[in-house]
Structure 1
Amino acid sequence: MSGATTAPSAVEGVTLNDVARQLAELTDLFRRRLLEDRAKNETILALRQHLQAREELDTGAAFEAVFTETLLAVDRLASEEASAELAASVATEILEVLGRRGLRALPSEGRADPTIHEIVGQEAGRPGAEAGEIVQVRRRGYALGDRLLRPAQVVVAAASEEGAE
């Protein structure tokens, strides 16, 4: 028995193209799994952030700064002599505190908009005012972001009797 003998190959009949195809399939599978894992990790991160925000709401931590700043305004009311000037100043201070957190006053000029204004009266004989135009604001309206908290209560100019004929 002279000479080297070759061991039979376990992969006889497998071509280089077969190996390349299987490698491409495995590579594709690996990439899809990586993308799925990335998506799952992003979902888990979003859920953790949502849970943390909920916990802050539950414990009141989300409102702590608002309470602290509002209490400073309340302290001013308690420590200073009551006056219209003080009341206006404290109201402005509280609205600034809330404004830093997204509260905004609704516009109250021009024509009344039924989506943000509640018409509580009409006034006739307003020179220069067109029918439906806001002539008085009884109570300011506010929104938080895009959400209406309360509509503005407004009085509008009534149609003139000349235009009604």
Structure 2
Amino acid sequence: MAETASQHTLDEVFTEVTQLRDLFARRLMDDKTKNAALEKLAQSNTLLIRSAEDERILAFVKELILLCDRIYNRTQSDAFTDSVLEELLEILARRGIEQIEQLEQFDPRIHSCLSVVPASEAHPVNTITQVIRQGYRRGDKVIRPAEVVVAR
């Protein structure tokens, strides 16, 4: 009878250990799931913060670009304003903002056509005849397209 009681107790201990092992395994899986969710949330939060910072910086960059436009459009040239323009363009360049290179052919991805003029021998169809406002980009992203006059 003592053997049966011990066997009974041993069975209870085995059952309890099995239940604890199952509980431990479930908790580990829950912890893995929670950690993965927290990691994903942290990554999303980081991306959201960067995106918000980029939007604030982009708004400021657009204001600096307008200042560059004012300097480009001045009627008189002087060394001081030329040096200020150079410095503004350098500040933008250090942050990855560059003027869009002037192409001969109109490209709707980087140009905005403000006006058209008749094509001629000097300016064949779809060539840029005049740049009204300089365009700017950051890497492949156009911040502001160059505003141009195109021959048609």
Alignment TM-score, normalising by the size of structure 1? 0.53
Which position in structure 2 is the counterpart of 1:153? 147
Which position in structure 2 is the counterpart of 1:74? none
1:35 to 32, 43, 47: 32
Alignment TM-score, normalising by the size of structure 2? 0.56
1:41 is matched by which residue type in structure 2? L
> Would you tell me which structure has more helix in proportion to its own residues?
2
Q: Which has the larger radius of gyration?
A: 1
Alignment gaps of 5+ in structure 2 = 65-75
For residue 11 of structure 2, give the secondary structure of its aligned residue in structure 1: coil
Matched, 1:108 2:105: no
Higher relative contact order, chain-length normalized (CA < 8 Å, sep 6+): 2
Matched pairs, number: 131
* Structure 1 contact 123–155 (Cα < 8 Å) conserved: no
- Deviation per CA, 1:112-165: give whole Å up to 9, x if none: 1223212223254343x431022332211123455433221112234xxxxxxx
For 2:141 and 2:94, the matched residues in 1 are separated by 16
Alignment gaps of 5+ in structure 1 = 71-81, 159-165
Q: Quote the sequence identity (%).
A: 28
Matched, 1:130 2:124: yes
Q: 1:141 to 1:49 in 2, by over 3 A?
A: same
Which position in structure 2 is the counterpart of 1:12? 11
- Deviation per CA, 1:5-34: give whole Å up to 9, x if none: 444323539989x94x984x5565244223
Q: 1:53 to 1:125 in 2, by over 3 A?
A: closer
For 2:10 and 2:140, the matched residues in 1 are separated by 67
